[in-house]
Homo-oligomer: A and B are copies of this chain.
Amino acid sequence: MIARVIVTPKPVVNDPQGLTVKQGLASLGFREVTDVRVGKYIEVNLEGSSEHEARRRVEEMCRQLLANHVIEDFQFDIEPERKRR
């Protein structure tokens, strides 16, 4: 089972990385870019259990460790097959 977790800064939270990358892209000539947000991607491989159970566990992991709920949102999907995306 593999879970792909995406953690992003909450929309109202300042994202200095995103701002700086946006400026970097602009100076490289990518002027069509209107906004950039930088977050984390976390790939978690888990053993056994049902997809339903895995979903519950990963949700728990996000709440407890993977995301900082004060400033970040998270989302994830789960794939039964253990193969790299």
Query: Chain A: residues with CB nearer than 8 A to chain B?
Result: 6-8, 11, 21, 24-25, 28, 30, 32-49, 57, 60-61, 64-66, 75, 84-85
Contact = CB atoms under 8 A, between A and B. Distances in A.
Contacts of A30: 57, 60-61
Given A21-B65, A30-B57, A42 B37 contact: yes
A45 B35 contact: yes
A21 B7 CA distance: 14
14 contacts: A7-B41, A21-B65, A25-B44, A28-B61, A30-B61, A32-B57, A33-B44, A33-B45, A36-B43, A38-B40, A38-B42, A39-B40, A39-B43, A40-B41
B40 A44 contact: no
B75 A21 contact: no
A28 B65 CA distance: 9
